[in-house]
Amino acid sequence: MSQINNKKENMDELKEFIRKMVREMSGTGAVGGYQTPFAFGKPGNEKKKGKKQADLTGYTVVSENRWLELKREDSSPKSKIGKGISNINRQLGEMEKFLEWYSKLKQESGITNEQFWKRTNINIYSIKERLIKLEQKIRKISE
């Protein structure tokens, strides 16, 4: 009988020990949080970091205030619109070139739309929707 009582006491002690440990635990494993807002970089390095990442990927850094820059530009509105439309036309030419390449690649490899990744078909649908909206905006600006 004493062995049963002894086992019961050990179980009770174990349960109490586990309860105590659970109460002391936190969601982060009792590790203190970082108290420095710039733990992984210095303040003011965003432009430099963005430039470095753009250089590595072959892209350019895009200013979020392009609308304000466009408004403040010294040229006339007619000139701004003309340059902008010319730039859009050049970018569309690039898109057409890429689409021709991918279409040719698809045709040469014999891939069907059903063989695309799921997100590829979703992206194609999204591009179609965006092109429809762009067409509406082009009609509006050309009126």
- What does the DSSP assignment read for 14-44? HHHHHHHHHHH--TTTTPPPP--TTTTS-TT
Report if pTM > 0.75. Answer: no
Burial-class residue 80 by CB neighbours within 10 Å (0-12, 13-18, 19+).
Answer: middle
Tens of pLDDT, residue by residue over 64-115, are: 688 888 888 899 999 999 999 999 999 999 999 999 999 999 999 999 989 9
How high is the pLDDT of residue 122? 94
Query: Rounded CA gap, 133 and 86, in Å?
Result: 19
Query: Rounded CA gap, 80 and 128, in Å?
Result: 28
How high is the pLDDT of residue 71? 86
Query: Rounded CA gap, 92 and 96, in Å?
Result: 6
9 Cα distance to chain centroid: 56
How high is the pLDDT of residue 50? 74
Is 28 within 8 Å of 21 (Cβ atoms)? no
Residue 51 one-letter amino acid: K
